[in-house]
Structure 1
Amino acid sequence: MASAVGIITPEWELPAGVQARLTTRVGGLSQAPYDSFNLATHVGDDRASVLANRRALLLKLTGVTAIQWLTQVHSNWVVQAYGGTVVPVADASSTDRSGLACAVLTADCLPVLFCRDDGRQVAAAHAGWRGLADGVLLNALAQFPDPKRVLVYLAPCIGPSAFEVGPEVKAAFGWGSSDCFVAGAGDRWLGNLQGLATEQLQAAGVRSIAANSDCTMTNSERYFSYRRDGDSGRQASVIWIEP
């Protein structure tokens, strides 16, 4: 028997008629190591359990008739959400349709939600370090007419004290400030995904960025973490325009 589904309402000031939610690992039907509210079909979990978890999520999202899931491949590709049965290969989606939710799945990578300040358009993006370096957030932002009118939310990801990377990752962010990388042991660095995203988006003209700085790797009771566990479920970050 599943416990109550764990869903977070972001502390993010949105225009009337727009809603966003973040899921946790709590409350679904999936068994270990995907316990329990896993929403990903590609990680080895029982498909029936995942689909039941997705139905439970849909019931919790007031006014949502469909969720646009993606086949995420650490790309910089953005698609228009349409809510059909085909799951496109992309790492971000955007829509101006009401009742259709944009969603991304993560387990350490950075989920980013976008909303036009008049509530007429939303988007969601999945930014691992490769996608972030390749411009997935900039491509998602480019779907909007004016970056200065876009509100951005950075959802929980692996935190700067846990994200240990090699010199090749640091080199991919030649534009990032020294604040985003702290020297570790040997040639290792501690990277700050939210800090890098903030710098990139602000340079592109975004003026309003909110964030939840929870670390997915260190909070095992609330979040899935691929780096911590290997075999792991995925949580979702979702945004939609109400009917």
Structure 2
Amino acid sequence: MWFTPDWTLPEGVAAASTDRLGGQSQPPFDGFNLGAHVGDEAEAVRLNREALRLGLQLPKDPAWLEQVHGTRVVTLPCDESLPRADASYANTPNQVCTIMTADCLPVLLCHRDGSQVAAAHAGWRGLCDGVLEQTVARFSGEASDLLAWIGPAISAEAFEVGPEVREQFVSQDAQAVSAFVARGDKYLANLPQLAFQRLSALGLTQITLSHLCTYSDSDKFFSYRRDGRCGRMASLIWIR
């Protein structure tokens, strides 16, 4: 139902990422769907979220967001019940930064001293518009002191986009051209590579990629591009 990201975190910080295994949801949301906005039965989502909190021994409920493929970052705790944002940041214990995905990039960030954490949702629009830059800017200190993990997402082999998407990225950073491979009049876009480039340009040097593809592993992961109507996974990070 969840796994621990394969990266080294400072003492006092915990992180997790979920898959679709187990849970109470019925097809096409089977089984561990955590999204309350996708058409799944509300009770199934509630039970799945309860299992997540109990299983991970979370200090409180995850801080769910209304994700809109934007660049807004909220600092936790937040007075809004369901913030309209695509990233959250915390510098106090027991605030569970959480984002949901089903092909888009989940990116978790942590200061090397364990004093600050964040979670960002980066689809191609948010990534291009600067959600990672906005999230990193929320941290105090140097970007070189941050650790990043890029979680399960659609791989380049399955992510076909139009030339306008490539143009938007390349117009901002010439090195982005290496993340696109032509296929007919379209391009295959490497989202994890684009995120890696963006984070590196900001000064991060410790970036871990999961190399997990949501599209190709239908047994383990939800994929919106593959299935259309489907559940959502979550990636979480918090200071104990």
TM-score, length-normalised on structure 1? 0.94
Runs of 4+ in 1 over 3 A off after TM superposition: none
How many pairs are equivalent? 236
Give yes or no for contact 1:66–1:99 (8 Å, CA) kept in 2.
Answer: no
**Counterparts of 2:79 and 2:53, CA distance in 1:** 15
Counterpart of 1:208 in structure 2 is 206
User: Counterpart amino acid of 2:48?
Assistant: N
Calculate the aligned-residue CA RMSD, in Å.
1.1
Query: Structure 1 residues 83, 52: closer, same or farther in 2, change over 3 A?
Result: farther
Aligned pair partner of 2:148 in 132, 148, 152: 152
| Aligned counterparts of 1:81 and 1:227: Cα–Cα separation in 2 | 31
Asked if the contact 1:66–1:83 (Cα under 8 Å) also holds between the matched residues in 2, the reply is no
Residue 3 of structure 1 is matched in structure 2 by: none
Residue type of the alignment partner of 1:222: K
Matches within 5 A, 1:73-222: 73-82=68-77, 86-145=81-140, 146-174=142-170, 175=173, 176-185=175-184, 187-222=185-220
State the TM-score, normalizing by the size of structure 2.
0.96
Instruction: Measure the CA separation in 1 of the matches of 2:12 and 2:79.
Output: 23
Deviations 1:179-233 (A, max 9, x none): 2001112x11000001001111111111110010111001000000000000010
* Structure showing the higher helix proportion among its residues: 2
CA distance in 1, matches of 2:168, 2:36: 30
* Structure 1 residue 49 corresponds to structure 2 residue 44: yes
Q: Distance in 1 between matches of 2:116 and 2:165?
A: 32
Q: Report the equivalent of 1:25.
A: 20
Name which of 225, 228, 237 aligns with 1:227: 225
| In structure 2, distance between residues paired with 1:20 and 1:83 | 20
Partner of 2:234: 236
Name the SS for the 2:158 alignment partner: coil
Residue 10 of structure 2 is aligned to residue 11 of structure 1 = no
Cα shift at 1:136: 0.2
Counterpart of 1:221 in structure 2: which amino acid?
D
- Amino acid of the residue matched to residue 165 of structure 1? V
> Given the superposition, is the C-alpha separation of residues 233 and 80 from structure 1 closer, same or farther in structure 2, using an over 3 Å criterion?
same
Judge conservation of contact 2:71–2:130 (CA < 8 Å) in 1.
yes
| SS of residue in 1 equivalent to 2:139 | coil
Does structure 1 conserve the Cα–Cα contact (< 8 Å) formed by 2:104 and 2:121? Answer: yes
| Greater displacement, 187-196 / 171-180 | 171-180
Inter-partner Cα distance in structure 2 for 1:127 and 1:166? 18
3-state SS, counterpart of residue 139 of structure 1: helix
Q: Give how far 1:168 is off.
A: 1.1
1:160 Cα offset (Å)? 1.1
Runs of at least 5 residues in structure 1 that lack an aligned partner in the other structure? 1-5
1:137-183 CA-partner distances (Å, limit 9, x unpaired): 00000011221111000001000111111111111101143320011
- What's the % identity of the aligned pairs? 48
Query: More displaced, 79-88 or 11-20?
Result: 79-88
